[in-house]
Amino acid sequence: MMTDIEHITIAEARRDLDGRTYSAMELAEAHLSRIEEKKGNNAYLEVFDDVRQQAKEADKLVQSGRGGILAGIPISVKDNILIRSRRASAGSKMLEGYRAPYDATVVLKIREAGGIFLGRTNMDEFAMGSSTENSAFGVVKNPHDEARVPGGSSGGSAASIALHTALGSLGSDTGGSIRQPASLCGVVGLKPTYGSVSRYGLIAMGSSFDQIGPLAKTVEDAEILFNVIKGNDPYDSTSIPVKLYPRISEMRKRIGVPRALLGEGIDEDVLKNFEKTLAALRQSGYDVIDIELPYAEYALPAYYVIIPAEVSTNLARFDGVRYGLHVEGKNIAEEYAESRSKGFGPEVRRRILLGTHILSAGYYDAYYTKAQAVRQLISHDYEEAFKAVDLIATPTSPTPAFKIGEKTDPISMYRSDIFTVTANLTGMPALSIPSGFVEREKKELPVGFHLTAPMLRESWLFAAGKDVQASVK
Ligand code: GLN
């Protein structure tokens, strides 16, 4: 019998499916009707027409005992990750009508593990944003308060989990796009180590930052998904070869807190919630140690210099000829210009302009080279800090979910990423875990606790994340 899907996790569904408590078909049906019920939140851009067919196949596999770890598990996928023969629009008009010619490596891996693809989730255009307000297909409404944003850019993925319309989701994180929406929607989100999950089949934003990662209801579920999607991939030249993986020792339960970063601009109750979680971790045997990250305050400016530069080069391929939208013009130059100005929204155009400026001969050294140097200094700060601690903790976001339309100037939006961009600058893995709620206008809004680990130490994040999870219950 199908119980209430609100209380099912991937780990539980695995046991239930294997124990024949319900079938993959029943689980899929329950999710499809829930998606229909929650349509107004706009988390999905498309629900696939073959979900029941996939469930039927999954049931056969489960019955034969040959099903993988995800056999029959319903999963949603961010609109910038390619699923063969399905549309992928990256939340942009520019990719109108585009269909993916192949599966992203992560999709292939989930397929092989038996996962069921429910549909494509809404996102900020080409993953630029922290609210999904930049989507060409309308904003996603936060499951906890529909007047508020779900965070971004993977806002559709985070909302799909919080609304119980999927058991797991794939998002992408370039500067916080998995962790910040996870925090604002009250779910778990992991940005894996750069190079540990293949980027093959991910529509690129900033190639030296982008990582695909899981969103889920629990840390256990995020771990299950990560174990399925990780691994070396010859199709991604930045994928880490297995022989370079270090031996991972036990975590020693030392958490560093960069106090100097926890000042201005952070809501008081968010900070209180953070201190409460730290106190709970002390209770479970962690040492909480103050640390210094002298260059971390420059993370946001460095990120917002390098990112437009990478965006402007990556998005040069969308010329109105090779993919998606095409606008006729008198000559090829006019066709490029018309297609690009009609296809791209304002934030994407802003970054292309900024990036082109930053990379131009006269400014390259002043901006790009300087920001890359700062990136190095920040990585060095983290490496030094990790000599004394195993994990570094901050809140995930300085505020809970903000109102739709509230942040009108780009800089105030960029500030939401203050705690998340460093993990992408350094390549280190980071996890956001729900740590409770704060109240705004009589609504309980979720808050996230953010942990960063040294390269390839996802196992430490999961271990500490489970302790955070246990302390909140
Ligand atoms: N909000 C950040 C930005 O707009 C992060 C985006 C992301 O991680 N994809 O760049």
pLDDT tens, position by position, 226-268: 999 999 999 999 999 989 998 999 999 999 999 999 988 899 9
Question: Distance (Å, rounded) from C-alpha 291 to C-alpha 281?
Answer: 17
- Evaluate: CB of 174 within 6 angstroms of ligand 1: yes
Confirm or reject: Cβ of 381 under 6 Å from ligand 1.
Answer: no
* CA of 304 relative to ligand 1 center, distance in Å: 9
Closest CA to 21 of 64, 62, 52, 76: 62
From the list 23, 153, 397, 432, the catalytic residue is: 153
The pLDDT tens digits of the residues spanning 32-79 come to 999 999 999 999 999 999 999 999 999 999 999 999 999 999 999 999
Which ligand 1 atom is at minimum distance from the Cα of 209? 8
CA of residue 396 to ligand 1 center, whole Å: 14
Distances (CA, A) of 464 to 135, 162, 280: 34, 22, 11
Cis peptide leading into residue 339 (ω within 30°): no
153 lines ligand 1 (CB under 6 A): yes
Percent of the chain whose pLDDT exceeds 90: 95
Predicted local distance difference test score (pLDDT) of residue 323: 85
96: confidence class by pLDDT, cuts 50, 70, 90: confident
- Residue 97 in this model has a pLDDT that exceeds 90: no
**Global pTM exceeds 0.95:** yes
Q: Which CATH superfamily is domain 5-241 in?
A: Amidase signature (AS) domain (3.90.1300.10)
Alpha helix stretches (DSSP H) within 359-439: 364, 370-385, 410-414, 421-426
Which is it for strands 188-191 and 430-440: parallel, antiparallel or unpaired?
antiparallel
DSSP state of 276: H
Sorted by where each begins, the domain ranges of the chain are 5-241
Respond yes or no: is residue 130 known to be catalytic: no
**If you measure from the C-alpha of residue 310 to the centroid of ligand 1, how many angstroms do you get, rounded to a whole number?**
12
Task: Please tell me the distance from the alpha carbon of residue 105 to that of residue 40, in angstroms, as a whole number.
Answer: 31
CB of 343 within 6 A of ligand 1: the answer is no
Q: How far is the CA of 210 from the centre of ligand 1 (A)?
A: 9
Residue 1's pLDDT band (cuts 50, 70, 90): low
Judge whether 153 counts as a catalytic residue: yes
Segment 387-436, tens digit of pLDDT: 999 999 999 999 999 999 999 999 999 999 999 999 999 999 999 999 99
**Contact assessment for residue 32 and residue 38, using Cβ atoms and an 8 Å cutoff:** no
Q: Is the CB of 130 under 6 A from ligand 1?
A: yes
